[in-house]
Structure 1
Amino acid sequence: MKSLLKNYLNTFSGLSQEVWWLALITLINRAGTMVIPFLSLYLITDLNFSMSDVGWVMSAFGVGSVLGSWLGGKLTDKIGFYKVMVFSLIATGFLFIGLQYLKTFQLICLGIFIVMTVADMFRPAMFVALNTYSKAENKTRSLTLIRLAINLGFSAGPAIGGLIITSMSYDGLFWVDGITCIAAGVLLTNVLNPKKVKVLDSYKNLNPKSAYTDVPFIIFAIAMVLFGVVFLQYFSTMPIYYKERHFLTEFEIGVLLGLNGFVIFILEMPLIKWLENSKYTKTGLMTFGAILTGLSFIILNIFSWSGVLIIGMMLMTVGEMITFPFSNAFALERAKRGSQGEYMALYSIAFSLSHIFGHNAGLQMSGTIGFDNTWIVITLLALICVFLLMILKHALKTEKRKQLSQTRNPIV
Structure 2
Amino acid sequence: MLKTAFTHYINNFKGFSREIWILTLVTFINRAGTMVLPFLSKYLKEDLHFSYNQVGWIMVSFGLGSMLGSWLGGKLSDKIGFYKIMIFSLFTSGVSLFFIQYVTTFWALCASMFVLMVIADMFRPAMFVSLSAYAKPENRTRALTLVRLAVNLGFAAGPALGGLIIMGIGYSGLFWVDGASCIVAILIFALLVKEKKKVPHNDKTESPVAIKSVFHDKIFWVFLFVSFVTGMIFFQLFTTLPLYHNEKFSLTEFQTGLLMTLNGLMIFAFEMPIVGFMERKSFPKIKIILLGSLVMSLSFFMLLINVWAGILVISMICISIGEILTFPFSNAFALSRAPHGQEGRYMALYTMSFSLAHIMSSKIGFEIIARLGYQINWFFMASIGIIATLCCLWIKKALIDEKVS
Of 397, 400, 404 in structure 2, the residue corresponding to residue 397 of structure 1 is: 400
Total equivalences in the alignment: 398
Partner of 2:84: 83
Identity level (%): 47
C-alpha contact (below 8 Å) 1:161/1:173 kept by paired residues? yes
Q: Please show how residues 3-402 of structure 1 align to structure 2 within 5 Å.
A: 3-194=4-195, 201=199, 209-278=212-281, 280-336=283-339, 339-402=342-405
Q: Which amino acid aligns with 1:99?
A: I
- CA pair 292-4 structure 1, distance change in 2 beyond 3 A: same
Distance between the aligned counterparts of 1:312 and 1:318, measured in 2? Answer: 10
Can you list the C-alpha shifts for 1:162-201, whole angstroms capped at 9, x where unaligned?
Answer: 0111101011110011000011111111112216xxx784
How many angstroms does 1:336 deviate by? Answer: 2.7
Q: Which amino acid aligns with 2:215?
A: Y
**What CA distance in whole angstroms lies between the structure 2 residues aligned with 1:200 and 1:314?**
38
Where do 4+ consecutive residues of structure 1 move more than 3 Å? 199-205
Q: Using the TM superposition, give the Cα deviation of residue 2 of structure 1 relative to its aligned residue in structure 2, in angstroms.
A: 2.4
| Whole-angstrom distance in 2 between the partners of 1:127 and 1:23 | 12
User: Aligned to 1:302, what secondary structure does the other structure show?
Assistant: coil
Q: What is the CA–CA distance in structure 2 between the aligned matches of 1:138 and 1:144, rounded to whole Å?
A: 10
Q: CA deviation at 1:129?
A: 0.3
Distance in 2 of aligned mates of 1:247 and 1:201: 54
Alpha-carbon contact 1:72-1:125 (below 8 Å) kept: yes
Q: CA deviation at 1:380?
A: 1.1
Unaligned runs of 5+ in 2: 203-207
Q: What's the CA shift string for 1:243-275, capped at 9, x where partnerless?
A: 101110000001111111111011110111112
Task: Let me know the Cα RMSD of the aligned residues.
Answer: 1.5
In the TM superposition, residue 303 of structure 1 has moved relative to its aligned partner by: 5.0
CA distance in 2, matches of 1:363, 1:96: 30
Amino acid at match of 1:267: F
- Cα distance in 2 for partners of 1:3, 1:266 equals 15
Counterparts of 1:360 and 1:200, CA distance in 2: 38
Amino acid paired to 2:239: S
Contact 1:208 1:337 in 2 (8 A): no
- Please give the per-residue CA displacement for 1:286-320, whole angstroms capped at 9, x wherever unaligned: 01000100111111113521111010000000100
Judge conservation of contact 1:134–1:201 (CA < 8 Å) in 2.
Answer: no
CA distance in 1, matches of 2:86, 2:212: 24
Decide whether aligned partners of structure 1 residues 203 and 386 sit closer, same or farther in structure 2, where only a CA change above 3 A counts.
closer
**Whole-Å separation in 2 of the counterparts to 1:302 and 1:110:** 44
Long gaps (5+) in structure 1:
403-412
TM-score, with length taken from structure 1: 0.94
CA contact (8 A) 1:210 1:338 kept: no
In the aligned structure 2, how far is the partner of 1:32 from the partner of 1:336?
34
Tell me the TM-score normalised to structure 2 length: 0.95
1:278 offset after TM fit, Å? Answer: 3.1
Q: Is the 8 Å Cα contact of residues 208 and 338 (structure 1) preserved in structure 2?
A: no
- Does the aligned pair in 2 maintain the 1:210–1:342 contact within 8 Å? no
